[in-house]
Amino acid sequence: MHASLAAGIPHYHACGGNGKCSTCRVLIKEGMQNLTPFTEKEKLLRERMRIPQNVRLACQTFVIGSPVLLHRIIRDETDIKLYIKEDTKSGLQNIGEERDLALFFLDIRNFTPFMEASLAFDAIHVIRRLFTMFRECIEDNHGRIIETSGDGFYAVFGMDSTIQAAVSDAYDAGHSILNELDKFNTNYLRKYFNHEFSVGIGLHVGKVITGNIGIGVNNNLTAMGMPVNIASRIQSATKELNNSFLISDSIHKTLRQPPQADQMKIALKGVKHLVNVFLCGKAYSK
């Protein structure tokens, strides 16, 4: 912190550099081993505020070797409101980090006709039944739903596991959902509403940026990057290819026991090259 100030860099330090406020925090991108260990003041503050491991308090840290690559997190008053809050008990990082994740997109088919033909209460009741079932399948396989829409959701796998385990879990979750949906259609929807749903599932894996956006919706976790867009567009291709579950070539290669499934090369919007996908579900009913 003192080095920044001496160089004319505006480095926030609301407590005067006494390790009490964390406004001087910096993100260490490279060279953590070239910094002094945590001081007692920093340890206490880190424990209270759940500060990520790749973030240090500049006022409590000296550089003892090179290289060290870092940047300031808090640069103005608005940044302070984003990162310095009383509510700091969330385990989610509000500092973006790159990680490999399995990316799972699902869309419900035939939902609009059901809503148009049903009472509002019935529509909400059925969608709650569906999403409860979907969530259980995802969470039973160690995934997390991070975004929902009216008739679909987006989940990630691998926040707390290896990428190989994440891919296997995501693939198992997809088949679990398809199996449970068959039961739901047979035992409930056809019986009480003379209707049935199908879904389209797209699965891809890749390096994305994850972080806590901190605006109080869902569970605050977000994941962004081109692999997310590819996963979403693979899901959209389920209708075109008439198959309920499509996985990317990278998913297929990562699975310990990849399925024997038909494969096709398809064009995806915004992707320069054709993408190889495997058809791991069933054809939709005519």
What pLDDT digit, counting tens, does each position of 163-209 carry? 999 999 999 999 999 999 999 999 999 988 889 999 999 999 999 98
Residue 79 vs residue 253, higher pLDDT: 253
- The average confidence (pLDDT) of the chain is 88
pLDDT at 16 over 60: yes
**What is the Cα Rg of the chain in Å?**
23
For the chain, report the end-to-end CA distance as a whole number of angstroms. Answer: 66
Taking the C-alpha atoms of residue 220 and residue 214, their distance in angstroms, rounded to an integer, is: 5
Instruction: Write the pLDDT tens digit of every residue in 256-276.
Output: 999 999 999 999 988 889 999
Task: Tell me the backbone φ, ψ of residue 116, rounded to 5 degrees.
Answer: -65, -30
Residue 234 vs residue 120, higher pLDDT: 234
Q: Counting beta carbons within 10 angstroms of the beta carbon of residue 69, is it exposed (0 to 12), middle (13 to 18) or buried (19 or more)?
A: exposed
Find the range with the poorest average confidence among 41-55, 70-84, 141-155, 178-192: 70-84
Q: Token digits for 226?
A: 């081109």
User: How large is the average pLDDT for residues 50-68?
Assistant: 90
Taking the C-alpha atoms of residue 282 and residue 188, their distance in angstroms, rounded to an integer, is: 21
pLDDT band, very low/low/confident/very high, at 31 (cuts 50, 70, 90): very high
User: How large is the average pLDDT for residues 21-43?
Assistant: 91
Strand-pair category, 55-57 with 198-212:
unpaired
Range with the largest mean pLDDT of 15-19, 54-58, 122-126: 54-58
- What is the value of pTM for the model shown? 0.73
Q: Token digits for 173?
A: 């979750």
pLDDT at 238 over 70: yes
Report all structural domains of the chain as residue ranges with CATH numbers, in order of start.
2-83 (3.10.20.30), 97-279 (3.30.70.1230)
3-state class (DSSP) for residue 100: strand
Find the range with the poorest average confidence among 18-32, 56-70, 216-230: 216-230
Instruction: Write the pLDDT tens digit of every residue in 77-100.
Output: 666 666 665 444 444 445 567 889
- Confidence (pLDDT) at 217: 46
Cβ atoms 23, 58 nearer than 8 A: no
pLDDT band, very low/low/confident/very high, at 45 (cuts 50, 70, 90): confident
Cβ atoms 85, 78 nearer than 8 A: no
pLDDT band, very low/low/confident/very high, at 74 (cuts 50, 70, 90): confident
Neighbours of 32 (CB within 10 A): 12
Find the range with the poorest average confidence among 87-91, 167-171, 217-221, 277-281: 87-91
Nearest to 24 by CA among 44, 47, 45: 45
Strand positions, DSSP E, the chain: 25-30, 55-57, 69-72, 97-109, 143-149, 152-157, 198-212, 221-224, 245-248, 263-266, 275-279
